[in-house]
Amino acid sequence: MSDRQITPNAGVGGVVHDHGMDLFDVADKTLGEVRPHLIGTSPIASKLFDDVATPVNNARNAVASAERDITRLLEDDRIYPAGRFKDASKALADAQTKVDALKQAGVAASLLNKMLTEDAMPKFEGTADEKREIADEVRDIMSRSTTDHFQTLRKLATDPRYVAHVASPLGRSVLIGRVEDRQVESTHEVIRNEALVWVGDHGTEAQKRAVERVAVAQGSGDRGGLLGAVAAASVGAQMKLEPLAARVKALGDRLVYEEARRVREVGRAR
């Protein structure tokens, strides 16, 4: 299937859309939305963002160059077919290398999301003695919870006295033995999300901005976030490269066929 298709609702004469590049546009738009929210964050966060944005941009440029160069090579009858096949194969391989780098962009996106989430989580501000006192209270409350431990901890995640503690590793530890082992991590993640929502509604202005930063980076609704941007670029790249790979392969198959025919003809001539 060609990477260029005519939309069913095209106007008179048809409107051709390059769906592969449309997806790169989606990725670029998403990254453009996230970038301003990282102003003033740590250098590590900025570096991780670059580790997402740069491979996406490189993949876009590589795919566009490959399409241009391969189309030119395959249509240039002045070059012997074997030479065209060699150069087109190299152009395709070079582009695929840039596209493969999107896997690491996905890793960087996950790390950045995790970092921003941790930064936005409520932090306890008090003395060590106060911290221990509240931790003991959380343990006591959970020990007296005889029915729905999840709902008990969830309620604490919206209490300003306990929210920082239940969002911390303490919240995870009090779930151990109270929910199934395989559900500890996912349950605590839900609790942390509840804490994050509470901070977004009741925290300081700085905390609210941090929560908004997480929402934009992770995506919500029709916004795909950083991982969505990488996914869009990956799919768009493959939509562009697959038809090119098929054309290059067709030329290679033709060369193999013609070489086999030449060998047969030489054999018959002998």
Q: pLDDT tens digits, residue range 189-246?
A: 999 999 999 999 999 999 999 999 999 999 876 668 999 999 999 999 999 999 999 9
Q: Which is nearest to 226 in space by CA: 115, 121, 120, 122?
A: 115
Beta-bridge partners for 18 = 4
User: Could you count the other beta carbons within 10 Å of the beta carbon of residue 173?
Assistant: 15
d(CA 258, CA 270) in angstroms, rounded, equals 19
d(CA 68, CA 58) in angstroms, rounded, equals 15
d(CA 113, CA 226) in angstroms, rounded, equals 8
Higher pLDDT, 109 or 146: 109
**pLDDT in the model for residue 56:** 97
| Pair of tokens at residue 62 | 């590589």
Burial classification of residue 53, based on how many CB atoms lie within 10 Å of its CB (0-12 exposed, 13-18 middle, 19 or more buried): buried
**pLDDT in the model for residue 8:** 41
pLDDT digits (tens, 9 = 90+) for 86-141: 999 999 999 999 999 999 999 999 999 999 999 999 999 999 999 999 999 999 99
Q: Which is nearest to 233 in space by CA: 64, 91, 85?
A: 64
User: Dihedral of CA 129/133/139/143: which sign?
Assistant: positive
pTM assigned to the model: 0.81
Length of the chain equals 270
Within the chain, strands assigned E span 4-6, 16-18
State the helix-helix crossing angle for 43-75 and 225-269, rounded to 10 degrees: 30
pLDDT digits (tens, 9 = 90+) for 27-59: 999 999 999 999 989 999 999 999 999 999 999
- Indicate the pLDDT class of residue 154, thresholds 50, 70 and 90: very high
Instruction: Enter the DSSP assignment of 268.
Output: H
**pLDDT in the model for residue 13:** 47
Instruction: Enter the DSSP assignment of 38.
Output: G
* 3-class secondary structure, 145: coil
Beta-bridge partners for 6 = 16
User: Could you count the other beta carbons within 10 Å of the beta carbon of residue 206?
Assistant: 10
**pLDDT in the model for residue 146:** 75
Q: How many CA atoms lie within 13 A of 161 on its CB side?
A: 10
**pLDDT in the model for residue 79:** 79
**pLDDT in the model for residue 270:** 64
